[in-house]
Amino acid sequence: MNLEEVLRFRRSVRIYDKEKPIDTDKVKHCLELATLAPNSSNMQLWEFHHITDPQLLSKISKACLDQTATSTASQIVVFVTRQDLYRKRAKSVLDFERGNIRRNSPKERQTKRIKDRELYYGKIVSLLYARFFGLLGMFRVLLTKGIGIFRTITREVSENDIRVVVHKSCALAAQTFMIAMANEGYDTCPLEGFDSKVLKRVLKLPHGAEVNMVVSCGIRKGNDGIWGERYRVPFEEVYVRV
């Protein structure tokens, strides 16, 4: 399939055919492709929990209110945000960027570019992604309001704003995964109807982790797998050319 065919094939499938298993390695490869998704500052603050064990699938489905999209799924992927790992991921990106700049940048620009990366990933990222009961976010908001009097600046810097950024990046990975799955001829359904507390307990996630979405996987059960034709708001209502 070409890209348009893949996008038109992809539907949110509510009932899967249990008699048609899917290849675990292919699903894993689709998750590898998901890591190529764009994400804020290349921080990659995500984890993909690939559920294949039948007993764990049952527990995950229960946490998802036993919807048919999970109770009939062959496999499930839980997309998780890990903002708590920002220091580790920032260090990893910075280590890579030092070598990347030395390999690919003109020698006369290398020193400045490395210093810029060290400032951003060594200090600014820590200021942006750190959380402390909303207080650090309030400080960042006040700081940007002051600077914003004199020049343009990113103003969405509260702790909740940064949390949204992390979830948006994780959702981009989830969308990339679902497109990759469609290219394999596999079906998916993104779900937000779940008990996050139960899910975190079942997956043994740390306090700083958050569930972004649950994506069930399988092969649709004939015409019963989808809810009829697909509806979209008329394009003219959402397209604005300026």
Q: Whose structure tokens read 């990366």?
A: 117
- Cα Rg of the chain (Å, integer): 21
Residue 149 backbone dihedrals phi, psi, to 5 degrees: -65, -30
> Tens digit of pLDDT for each residue in 82-139?
999 999 999 999 999 999 999 999 999 999 999 999 999 999 999 999 998 889 999 9
**Which residue in 84, 85, 22 sits closest to 215, CA to CA?**
22
For residue 231, give both structure tokens: 């509806």
The answer to whether 142 and 180 have CB atoms below 8 angstroms apart is no
C-beta atoms surrounding 62 within 10 Å: 16
What pLDDT does 224 receive?
85
Residue 133: which region, alpha, beta or left (left: phi > 0; alpha: psi -120 to 50)? left
For residue 72, give both structure tokens: 């009939």
For residue 173, give both structure tokens: 């990975």
Instruction: Point out the residues of the chain with pLDDT beneath 50.
Output: none
The answer to whether 219 and 188 have CB atoms below 8 angstroms apart is no
One-letter amino acid for residue 226 of the chain:
I
Q: Whose structure tokens read 């700083």?
A: 208
Residue 110: which region, alpha, beta or left (left: phi > 0; alpha: psi -120 to 50)? alpha
Domain chopping of the chain, boundaries: 3-83+161-230, 86-160
Fold of 3-83+161-230: NADH Oxidase (3.40.109)
Residue 23 neighbours by CB under 8 Å, 6+ apart: none
What pLDDT does 229 receive?
92
- Three-state secondary structure call for residue 144: helix
The answer to whether 35 and 71 have CB atoms below 8 angstroms apart is no
What pLDDT does 193 receive?
96
